[in-house]
Structure 1
Amino acid sequence: MSRTQNLRDIESNTEKKHSHWHDWAFVLLWGVIGYACIIFMVLAYSNPRLIPFDISSLLFRKEISPFFAFSQGTGHYSKPQGFKIVALVPFHYHERTAILDCYLQVVFVPQTDDAASMEWLYSIVNQTPEYAISSRGHEMEWEVAKDNVMYIRIDGDIVFLEDNAISTIVKTKLDNPSTLMVSANVINEAALASLHSHPGTALPYLPELYDVKQPSRSKSQLEHDWRASSLPSWQGPLNFKVGKDFDPPFEGHRWLLPRDAGSDRDPIARSVYTDTGPTLHDWTVGAQQHYSFLHHLEHNDLGRYKFPMWVDPTEPTSENFGCFWGNDAVEVHRIFRNNQKVSSHNWHMSDGSRPHVIIDGKGLVSHYSARQGAAGLDATDLITRYRAYAQEKVCLQTE
């Protein structure tokens, strides 16, 4: 039997042939429209003032974080049963922990001899039955740990705590039982300092250079306004740059967004791209990060900081917000104690291996770093702003 060759659709043989010029014109038209849309999108992204609305809102639902809390799915995560979960809060400064008081009911571990701070602590504990004070000591929070108890170590200088931060890291720790510790996503801390310094996340804030009076607003209004949108634009010399060892301009100064920022004027840009800028651990970088965070907080844009999980980072994680089992407390403490004395590139356990830890990018907290000192962050109005946010959004209002 011979094979049929050149089999064709019979109907196609009788189909009238048409000219294809109009098909090419149609393709060309859509090509022009497509290129025009691309150019418009690029221009709108590079200069948002060209259009009266946020074009990215047409493509993304910015109010929803790109990563779900509680590791998998959404919805309410009930407190696990069968073991205790205890928060340990090393206490240093009452001005900062007074903000954390809005978020938590905890066991405080005093690590200060300051009379005013201790007086505040005893007064707040006496007013709140759920509060307790542990034994004094700079390492006592590690020594009180008990086996089969999950501990959430929360530094007393935490000034913002996302609603799902604790439940998220607890869930991730239970999902990963071999992990020594799970850290939250701590703003501008340790291994995350570079990640949180990316353009678009870190905004080009600059320090206010002159103390300008604001007669139109009362002191009470200023003390209760945390929003970055109420700040004026930065003004100063065109050649101004934040260098190393930059001193605070004056007490209570603010950081402001310039209308037209240079590419290397702000602390983070100069830290990353020049040899004459501050390090990522300088107080000026911390100030820029905090003001950037408050900006994104106001605009419901915290998704910029989120990521799923970072397993076994090569650089140290933050010790300021994380969960671990009580029987691992000694090893967790040893890691952080040893790595305070060596380079961050030597992040290791007592046997020389890398710590098996996870940074959960879905639970966000902000830490007011004490290492940056009174000469740095304390000279800004950041504490006032974080306190105003907590009082407006978090603190329980009682009559």
Structure 2
Amino acid sequence: MGRPLKLHDLESDHDKQGGSSSSTWRDKTIVFTWSLFGYLCLIFTVVGFFNPSLLPVDPMALVFNRYSPFYAFSRGSGHFPKPHGFKIVALVPFNNHEHTSILECYLQKNLIHNHGLLDQVVFIPQTNDPTSLEWLNSLVQQTSEYAISPHGQDMDWKITRDNVMYIRIDGDVVYLEDHTIPTIVKTKMENPDTLMVSANVVNEGALASLHSHPGVALPYLPELYHVDQPSRSKSQLSHDWRMSSLPSWRGPASFRVRKGFKAPFEGHRWLLPREPGTDRDPIAGSVYTETGPTLRDWTVAAQQHYSFLHHLELDDLNLYKFPLWVNPTEPITTNFGCFWGNDVEALRDIFEHRSSEDLFKEWTNLNGSRPNVTIDGKGVATHYSSRQGAEGLDSTDLLDRYRSYAQERVCRQKSRPNEDWEN
């Protein structure tokens, strides 16, 4: 008898078929699970990039390292005592007494006799306006730590000394976070090879694009006509810096802020619309349309300033912050920087450029390579630019708002010459 070539076992065939069916089901389940996970990750990434406030965790914290300009690991550097062995001097180019009168509150707060780090403040006049110069002379006579540079209107580097740490603060800076000066001083001491450490100046230099991200820059629009608020007096409104006191923006659905936009009227405000359009505000227009303004336009600056005051009221300035940005690919602002006196010659090319456009063109060519500078993102400051005069930021009520904030939260009243200043 021959042996059968193939033995059919119905029971074993049934088990094999069942096992194959079970394996196929598991494979499909795994594929479906991973597909769903990938889809959710994609949604998480997109939402985290365009509007991270909607997420319980900031995804940028899991991705970028300490040198990235996109995430702040701390809201400040904590207490930093006054270093010994050298002086810290603020150099303040001075143009306009109305602007610098706001900054002066912050300078006073950072003087050494008010437990700050500044041993001295040297104002460098860059104006011939008699009213502003008279104001400056009167101011300097009232504070022993204040002085005026005798070297004329230019930023004369002869006033610097090798064993002194300098902080160049433009006279048009109108807001300064409490720990901004201690932060950049500490970072400069910890990074001796860095020529200069710049503060996190809102919407300035290399940070303009970063501070224009959705969620940081809010869709503020210029009011097109006066809006009455009968529940509050005019006096109350004129001394209120808070954005929450403003009404909602009203205007035609077709309204857009385009290139060459003219201020609607003097003293106008910027307001949040209830239903913002996708490209009607200046920053959205500059990114998504060809008819929008550039990031250097006054309307973009206005949107940034009102957005900043919005976040300031909510104690939400962490949205602007990051740890360190070393050797940025674009020019840093020259409006707030910390450096040693013996590095002045190496920094001359940066500070002597008369326009940000010129500096931008030559940034990668300075000394054959990018300058060795760092932006410290933990301390925030804002700079008010009035280069377009009444056709620019001066047509808004921004200065009044920054002044009101300083008077409420920062400025001090001097009781006796040798005593600390009180709120």
Please indicate the TM-score interval, normalised by the length of the shorter structure.
Answer: 0.7 to 0.9
| Residues 75 and 318 in structure 2, CA contact (< 8 A), matched pair in contact too | no
Larger radius of gyration: 2
| Residues 72 and 378 in structure 2, CA contact (< 8 A), matched pair in contact too | no
Aligned partner of 1:91 in structure 2 is 94
Paired residue type of 1:346:
E
SS of the counterpart of 1:347?
helix
Equivalent residue in structure 2 for 1:383, among 377, 399, 404: 399
Aligned partner of 1:49 in structure 2 is none
Cα deviation, residue 344, structure 1: 1.5
Paired residue type of 1:68:
S
Equivalent residue in structure 2 for 1:147, among 157, 162, 165: 162
Q: Aligned partners of 2:87, 2:386: CA distance in 1, in Å? A: 30
Paired residue type of 2:308:
F
% of aligned pairs identical?
Answer: 65
SS of the counterpart of 1:151?
strand
Identify which range, 350-359 or 230-239, moves more after superposition.
Answer: 350-359
Q: Aligned partners of 2:182, 2:132: CA distance in 1, in Å? A: 29
Aligned partner of 2:378 in structure 1 is 362
Aligned partner of 1:190 in structure 2 is 205
Aligned partner of 2:5 in structure 1 is none
User: Relative to structure 1, is the Cα distance of residues 116 and 288 closer, same or farther in structure 2, using a 3 angstrom cutoff?
Assistant: same
Deviations 1:137-187 (A, max 9, x none): 332353311111110000000000001101111111111111111100000
SS of the counterpart of 2:106?
coil
> Which residues of 2 match residues 1-399 of structure 1 at below 5 A?
66-68=72-74, 75-105=78-108, 106-338=121-353, 340=355, 342=358, 344-348=360-364, 350-397=366-413
Paired residue type of 1:94:
H
Deviations 1:46-84 (A, max 9, x none): 9xxxxxxx976x768xxxx943366xxx53111111111
Q: Aligned partners of 1:140, 1:310: CA distance in 2, in Å? A: 26
Cα deviation, residue 104, structure 1: 0.6
Q: Name the TM-score, length of structure 1 as normaliser.
A: 0.81
User: Relative to structure 1, is the Cα distance of residues 236 and 165 closer, same or farther in structure 2, using a 3 angstrom cutoff?
Assistant: same
User: Relative to structure 1, is the Cα distance of residues 144 and 343 closer, same or farther in structure 2, using a 3 angstrom cutoff?
Assistant: closer
User: Relative to structure 1, is the Cα distance of residues 392 and 338 closer, same or farther in structure 2, using a 3 angstrom cutoff?
Assistant: closer
Q: Aligned partners of 1:208, 1:94: CA distance in 2, in Å? A: 28
SS of the counterpart of 1:184?
strand
| Residues 175 and 383 in structure 2, CA contact (< 8 A), matched pair in contact too | yes
| Residues 111 and 136 in structure 1, CA contact (< 8 A), matched pair in contact too | no
Q: Aligned partners of 2:138, 2:234: CA distance in 1, in Å? A: 27
Gaps of 5+ in 2: 1-32, 59-70, 109-120, 416-423
Q: Aligned partners of 2:164, 2:221: CA distance in 1, in Å? A: 45
User: Relative to structure 1, is the Cα distance of residues 381 and 192 closer, same or farther in structure 2, using a 3 angstrom cutoff?
Assistant: same
Paired residue type of 2:91:
L
Paired residue type of 2:235:
S
Q: Aligned partners of 2:266, 2:148: CA distance in 1, in Å? A: 33
Q: Aligned partners of 1:343, 1:270: CA distance in 2, in Å? A: 25
Q: Aligned partners of 1:149, 1:392: CA distance in 2, in Å? A: 33
Q: Name the TM-score, length of structure 2 as normaliser.
A: 0.77
SS of the counterpart of 2:107?
coil
| Residues 87 and 151 in structure 1, CA contact (< 8 A), matched pair in contact too | yes
Aligned partner of 1:26 in structure 2 is none
Q: Aligned partners of 2:152, 2:75: CA distance in 1, in Å? A: 34
Q: Aligned partners of 2:325, 2:294: CA distance in 1, in Å? A: 23
Paired residue type of 1:97:
T
Q: Aligned partners of 1:397, 1:204: CA distance in 2, in Å? A: 37
Cα deviation, residue 128, structure 1: 2.5
Cα deviation, residue 335, structure 1: 2.2
Q: Aligned partners of 2:231, 2:414: CA distance in 1, in Å? A: 30
User: Relative to structure 1, is the Cα distance of residues 350 and 281 closer, same or farther in structure 2, using a 3 angstrom cutoff?
Assistant: closer
User: Relative to structure 1, is the Cα distance of residues 126 and 220 closer, same or farther in structure 2, using a 3 angstrom cutoff?
Assistant: farther
SS of the counterpart of 1:252?
coil
Alignment length (residue pairs): 351
| Residues 204 and 266 in structure 1, CA contact (< 8 A), matched pair in contact too | yes
Q: Aligned partners of 1:234, 1:121: CA distance in 2, in Å? A: 39
Paired residue type of 2:385:
S
| Residues 348 and 354 in structure 1, CA contact (< 8 A), matched pair in contact too | yes
Gaps of 5+ in 1: 1-30, 47-53
Aligned partner of 1:5 in structure 2 is none
Cα deviation, residue 273, structure 1: 1.2
